[in-house]
Structure 1
Amino acid sequence: MEPNGMKCAWFQFLIGFEIMSLGAYFPMKVYVYTHDFEEGGKENPKKIHFARIPVIGECIVLSNNPNWYKVVLVLHTPYMAADADAEVWCVKITGSAARKAAGYSAS
């Protein structure tokens, strides 16, 4: 028979595992608004599923094309009537600019 401490630790591990794996079962629905200064500054909303909601300052790529976007605003929409978990506004940046801002060489 195992001591109560072992049962408690095992239970906490299982609960932690379930919480960590929720992203795989419940993807976050996020409306992403992209802003491209080169295309006249229009916003193009897209509904995308993420494992977690992006945060301000993070860079994301939305498809196989080489366009990078930097998150500048996040609006969380946790209420039940919302069609998505969040709305995210991004501006188009170059990959080299993102690497340079992160401290990596632009080459």
Structure 2
Amino acid sequence: METVFVHLHDKNDFNYVNEYHQFKRVPVEGEYLVTKVDGDWYKVELVVHTPTSKEMIAELYAVKVDHNEEINKKRKM
């Protein structure tokens, strides 16, 4: 497991919630993540790899999304 520093925010609100999380692999831009069971969905906007850090392998920025809207977008494709 790799430690990733995650910056979460709501759409149009950049008051980030900053948390460390363990991932088997670093999420990539455009993927979705949740930070707890039945938690909010977040879409990854930016990934910064940090190979020189001893605390983490990457930082990522993600915006809260409505999971129903995201699923419906995929269904319409």
Q: TM-score normalised to the size of structure 2?
A: 0.87
Question: How many angstroms apart in 1 are the aligned matches of 2:49 and 2:7?
Answer: 14
Question: How many angstroms apart in 2 are the aligned matches of 1:82 and 1:75?
Answer: 15
Q: Please give the residue correspondences for 1:5-24 in structure 2 after superposition, counting only pairs within 5 Å.
A: none
- Structure 1 match to 2:11: 37
- Percent sequence identity is 32
Partner of residue 83 from structure 1, selected from 50, 55, 61? 55
Question: How many angstroms apart in 2 are the aligned matches of 1:104 and 1:78?
Answer: 38
- What root-mean-square deviation, in Å, do the aligned CA atoms of Structure 1 and Structure 2 show? 1.7
Is this contact kept in 2: 1:73–1:88, CA < 8 A?
yes
The alpha-carbon deviation at position 36 of structure 1 amounts to: 1.2
| The structure with more strand, counted as a fraction of residues | 2
- Structure 2 match to 1:70: 43
Q: Which runs of 5+ in 2 are unaligned?
A: none
Q: Which runs of 5+ in 1 are unaligned?
A: 1-26
Structure with larger RCO (C-alpha < 8 A, sep 6+): 2
Q: TM-score normalised to the size of structure 1?
A: 0.64
Instruction: Please list the CA deviations of residues 38-82 of structure 1 after superposition, one character each: whole Å capped at 9, or x if unmatched.
Output: 7x4310110000000000000001102431000000000112x44
| The structure with more helix, counted as a fraction of residues | 1
Question: How many angstroms apart in 2 are the aligned matches of 1:69 and 1:89?
Answer: 9
